[in-house]
Amino acid sequence: MMTTNSSTRRLFLVDHMCVLPFGHNLNAMVLFERELGRFFEGTMCLACSALPDYAEQANQVRRELSFPYDGVLERAAATKRSDGVAVNKTQLGIRPLLNNRLVRKALYTASFEFLGIDIVSGRTLSDWKSIFRRHKISRADAIFFPSAEFYGCVTLLELLGQLPETERPSVHFRFIGVGENVKYSFSQARPIFLDAIRRAKLNGTRLSVSAETPRYVEYLRNILDIDVLFVPYPLASESASIPWRQNKTIASPGQGRADKGFFRLNSIIGEIAEHYPEVRFEYDVQNMRTRDRDYRSRYESGLARIPRMNLRPERLSQDEINSVYEKSDIMLLPYDAETYAMRGSAVYQETLAVGRPVVCSRDLGFSDLVVRYGNGLLAESDTEFADALVELSSWDKKKVEKACRDARNLFERDVESAFTQVAEILQS
């Protein structure tokens, strides 16, 4: 969607992983456009052409990009039946074979490693050239990646290196610790990505970098030896009154995954039942996909049988997600410290926005933010999580409301400062 404002250039927001009708990629594009659009004459969100029509907010982006990660992620079904079930058209010949994600991954990797042919980079570079021609992108424009990813960013830098400096737009990559690590080869992706950034800076490309957590900011500063900004996730919603009933509702938002501590929930709840039998928490949990490689039906059945457990479907509409936040009292985020060593969490930052306290793991990329904003407690073992949840639930409602209000106010200042800095850099 193109919007106009009072500044001097266009901003293109780009995400080559924005292909699924669920998750944070699409919503993030819209939120970042809202925050940055006020600084620019016009904005345009570019998502993958394979993003289905039925995706919420699909009409707010232009679906023009190729999808480099079809060997990693399955595309969503193209259409939905009248009963809401997503379906694809039946295909004949070799197409069904190539529609298998694992076959594509093997093809891309083998072509690169054994033949020296980088199919995906070539396709993405060609796509960029078409985008530049179609939209007449020039030095007067800026390109912003809310979630930096390997193929889209590295091939863009390759294209810019082929252009005279007088024709290159300014570029900003925001690192979140996900797509920058994905490449179809036996070598690690991120070092190659970072080396491409160093070369681009040396050849005069106006390129700036940020990360979504202070820990990732420090890492990138040390590796790249450049200034790196802290750019948090935008405020996703308005603050909502916290219920803070006698029987608190503990929510674990977001699609269930092993690295988000889904398989720790039963144990944590069991610790509460064993050590605090007088406590009567209610639980609101989003389920795991049955196609997830870690899915275990027996565990799901056990979780569903827990008293006062509301086990929601694996996919929720935005209205349903908002309902989870609004009806909850405390958010439980027992994320894996290895996976999230530098990563942030859109769930945590949405929690900040709506005004809810959290209990999350120590040593995460965003654990420092919980300390900075003061809106929760940190824990490590399942017993510690149980203790922290009970302790937090004992706080006076006014104390909780003040903590959450102060956290949101400080977060708002951080968001405003960050996006003002990004806009100034992109327009310099």
> Does the pLDDT value for residue 300 go beyond 80?
yes
418 within a domain of the structure (yes/no): no
How many other CB atoms are found less than 10 A from the CB of residue 280?
A: 12
Final residue of a domain: which of 200, 231, 262?
231
Residues 154 and 88 in one domain: yes
Co-location of 307 and 350 in the same domain: yes
Number of domains in the chain: 2
Residue 236 lies in a domain: no
Domain assignment of residue 416, yes or no: no
pLDDT in tens, 18-31: 998 877 899 899 99
pLDDT at 90 over 60: no
Helix (H, G, I), strand (E, B) or coil at 109: helix
78 pLDDT tier (thresholds 50, 70, 90): low
Outline where DSSP puts E strands in 110-267: 142-145, 170-175, 207-211, 228-230, 249-252
Q: Are residues 178 and 266 in the same domain?
A: no
| Residues 201 and 259 both lie in one domain | no
Provide the domain limits for residue 370: 249-410
Residues 162 and 262 in one domain: no
Predicted confidence at residue 96, as pLDDT, reads 52
Q: Is residue 237 part of a domain?
A: no
Is there a single domain that holds both residue 209 and residue 277? no
What is the pLDDT, as a whole number, of residue 95? 52
* Average per-residue pLDDT for the chain: 92
Does 395 lie in the same domain as 369?
Answer: yes
pLDDT digits (tens, 9 = 90+) for 193-206: 999 999 999 999 99
Residue 91 reports pLDDT greater than 90 = no
Q: Is residue 227 domain-shared with residue 272, that is, in the same domain? A: no
- Report d(CA 110, CA 116) in Å as an integer: 9
Q: Residue 136 pLDDT more than 80?
A: yes
Whole-number percent of the chain with pLDDT over 70:
93
pLDDT at residue number 79: 58
Q: What would the mean pLDDT of 127-147 be, rounded to a whole number?
A: 97
pLDDT at 355: 95
Phi-psi bin for 363: left (phi > 0), alpha (psi -120 to 50), beta?
left
* Cβ–Cβ under 8 Å, residues 45 and 53: no
Helix intervals (H) in 250-342: 265-275, 297-304, 318-327
Stated pTM of the model:
0.90
Whether 177 shows a pLDDT value over 60: the answer reads: yes
Q: Same domain for 83 and 205?
A: yes
> Which residue in the block uniquely carries the two structure tokens 């590796």?
223
Residue 316 pLDDT level (bands cut at 50, 70, 90): confident
Are 206 and 299 within one domain? Answer: no
pLDDT digits (tens, 9 = 90+) for 347-378: 998 999 999 999 999 999 999 999 999 999 99
Residue 70 has pLDDT above 90, yes or no: yes
Q: What is the mean pLDDT of residues 168-189?
A: 95
* pLDDT tens-digit series, residues 223-258: 999 999 999 999 888 899 999 999 999 999 999 999
Tell me what pLDDT residue 74 has.
78
pLDDT above 90 coverage of the chain, percent: 82
Query: 427 in a domain, yes or no?
Result: no
- Phi and psi dihedrals of 57, rounded to 5? 75, 10
- What confidence score (pLDDT) does residue 75 get? 76
Q: End of a domain among 198, 231, 264?
A: 231
Does 65 lie in the same domain as 195? Answer: yes
Q: Residue 192 pLDDT more than 80?
A: yes
- In a domain, residue 423? The reply is no
Kindly provide the b/e burial profile for residues 44-65, where b requires at least 16 CB atoms within 10 angstroms of the residue's own CB. bbbbbebbbeebebeeebbbbb
Q: Is the pLDDT of residue 88 over 70?
A: no
Residue 424 lies in a domain: no
Q: Using the predicted structure, report yes or no on whether residue 84 has a pLDDT greater than 60.
A: no
Q: What is the CATH number of the domain that holds 254?
A: 3.40.50.2000
Q: CATH code at 7?
A: 3.40.50.11930
- Section 263-278 average pLDDT: 98
320 found inside a domain: yes
Question: pLDDT tens digit string along 107-133?
Answer: 999 999 999 999 999 999 999 999 999
- My answer on whether 279 and 358 are in the same domain is yes
Widest distance between CA atoms in the chain: 70
Domain edge (last residue) among 178, 201, 231: 231
The reported pLDDT for the residue numbered 327 is 94
The per-residue pLDDT for 14 is 98
